[in-house]
């Protein structure tokens, strides 16, 4: 299977609403998924950090920004690995 196909399947799995009894990742793990997703789809973070009054936006920005210049392909692979590690 292609990396893009595996990535898309993982996105559907992670973003699907969990059924009762299904593992729900911690907020930290969900932020890692978010950062890797943004890196894979949009590339490196070039936006300015959200302000103090947007703490959720800041957490998301931090998760994406810390990936630096990671390639889209590497982010897709890391996303799939993270998904396999957590469910």
Beta strands in the chain (DSSP E): none
Handedness of CA 85, 18, 74, 62 (dihedral sign): negative
Q: What is residue 10's predicted lDDT score, i.e. its pLDDT?
A: 83
Nearest 5°: phi and psi at 18? -70, 140
pLDDT per position as a tens digit, 41-87:
999 999 999 999 999 999 999 999 999 999 999 999 999 999 988 76
Output the six-digit token pair for 75. Answer: 């982010």
> 20: pLDDT confidence band, cut at 50, 70 and 90?
low
- In the predicted model, is pLDDT for residue 18 greater than 70? no
Q: What average pLDDT does this structure show over 16-35? A: 79
Q: What domains appear along the chain, each with residue ranges and CATH number?
A: 3-15+26-86 (1.20.80.10)
Per-residue pLDDT, 17: 54
């Amino acid at each position: 299977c292609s990396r893009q196909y595996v990535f898309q399947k993982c996105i559907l799995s992670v973003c699907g609403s969990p059924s009762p009894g299904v593992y729900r990742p911690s907020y930290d793990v969900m932020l890692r998924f978010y950062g890797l997703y943004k890196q894979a789809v949009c590339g490196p973070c070039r936006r300015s950090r959200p302000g103090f009054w947007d703490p959720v936006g800041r957490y998301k920005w931090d998760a994406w920004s810390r990936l630096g210049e990671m390639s889209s392909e590497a982010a897709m692979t890391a996303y799939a690995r993270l998904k396999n590690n957590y469910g």
